[in-house]
Structures are given as structure tokens and as C-alpha cells.
A = this chain, B = another copy of it.
Amino acid sequence: MTEGIAERTQRGVGRLNLYRPDFLLLVVDLMGVCVFAVEGALAAIRSNLDILGVLVISFATALGGGMIRDLMIGAIPPNSVRDWRYPATAFLGGGAVFFFYQLFQQVPLQLVITLDAAGLALCAIAGAGKAMEFGINPLLSVLMGAVTGVGGGTIRDILLNRVPGVLQSDVYAAAALAGALVVVIGLRLRVPRWMVMTSGAVVCFVLRMMAVWMHWNLPKVMVH
């Protein structure tokens, strides 16, 4: 019985959705959702959207990456459709920005970047970990971690009719990939889970912050 369930989860059959993040992971996850929702709302207000547009963009920015990942790995319905706390957090974050926009505008850019890097790190390691639990192979689990981290921002930019920033900006998706890679390697080597998750998050966060501080950029081909 237990063996059957374990096997099912591992092979990603997972329609019963036995995946239950523990409470700490949930809190951490919702913090990431909140940060991304706030950033989405700020972008939406600057694009002159009304309150509902702001909430839609908050929702898409905060939960879009995880939704794509869940559809891809077969965790259907996606977590954010099954658990009302995810959309509620996204809407709270977006609504707060709408009603207290003056306040949020005064948040120093440095803090926004730091929180965003933390959100990116949390999403990337959670995404990679969940993909591994659903039996996705290592290469694709790393990709799924990155998708979780950058997918929401990409959907936001598509909706606001911009070229997705993640395709252009300094080391952002690369940091998510690095963090996810650490998680996948760690889990394969059977390093304890908390240690794997912590180091993955640290790697992603530090890489991203250093890239911002030191103006790192990935190489480009010069097109004449």
C-alpha cells in the first residue's frame, strides 16, 4: 500500500496529489508569492492599469511560474488552483500596493532587488525539488526550477506587451538555474533535504546579488 503510493508519487502519476509541503515550506513559499505579487502590481500600476488589471498581473506574476511547472510535471490541478492560500496571498500583495502605492514607491530599490533575489531563490529550489519528487529526470528538473523562478515575470511582460526582461537582463535566469542545479545534484547524492535546499537558495541568491552589484552580464554575439 505505502509502497504503491510512494511509487506513484515518484513516477509522477500523481493525480492523487500526495505532494504536501510542510508548514515551514508553505510559509516560505507564500512569502515568495507575496514579493512577486508586489513587483507585478508595481509594474501594472506604471502601465496605467485599473485595479482589476493590477490584481490580474499580480496573480500572473506571483503564480504563473509555478502553474507552468505544475502543468508540465503533471501536478494537475496546479498547486495554486488547488490551494486558496496562494491566490489569496497574491491578491493581498497586489491590493496592498494598489491602495498604498505612495508607500510602496518609497521602498528603496536596493531592498526591492534583495527581496526579489530571495523570491527567485525560493521559487527555484522549491520548483526543482517538486519536479524531482514527481520523478522528472535531473536535466529537466533543473529547467523546471528555473521556469518556476522566471515564468511569472515572463508572463507579466508578455501581458504588458514587452520583451520579457528575463531574456535580456543580467544574470537572473542563470542564478535560478544554478540554484536548481545544486538542489538536483544534492538530492541525487542523498544529502539531507534541508541542507540541499539551503545551499541551493544561497547559491542562487548570492549569484543574483553579485551580478547586480558587479554589473555582470552573460556574453552576447555581436551582430554587425
The yes or no answer to A183 lying at the interface (CB within 8 A) is no
The yes or no answer to A77 lying at the interface (CB within 8 A) is yes
- Chain A interface mostly helix, strand, loop or mixed? helix
The yes or no answer to A48 lying at the interface (CB within 8 A) is yes
Residue-wise, chain A 65-82 has the 8 Å CB interface mask toward B (1 for contact) of 001000111101110011
Q: What is the copy number of this chain in the assembly?
A: 3
**Complex interface: chain B residues within 8 A of A82 (CB):** 136-137, 140
Q: Could you tell me how many residues of chain A have their Cβ less than 8 Å away from some Cβ of chain B?
A: 61
A16 to B, closest residue via Cβ: B13
- Establish whether residues B219 and A51, one from each chain, have CB atoms under 8 Å apart when the complex forms: yes
Known contacts A53-B168, A82-B136, A143 near B101 by CB under 8 Å: no
* A16 CA to B11 CA, complexed, in Å: 9
A to B CB contacts below 8 Å, 7 in the list: A15-B74, A44-B167, A67-B72, A74-B77, A87-B139, A101-B223, A159-B164
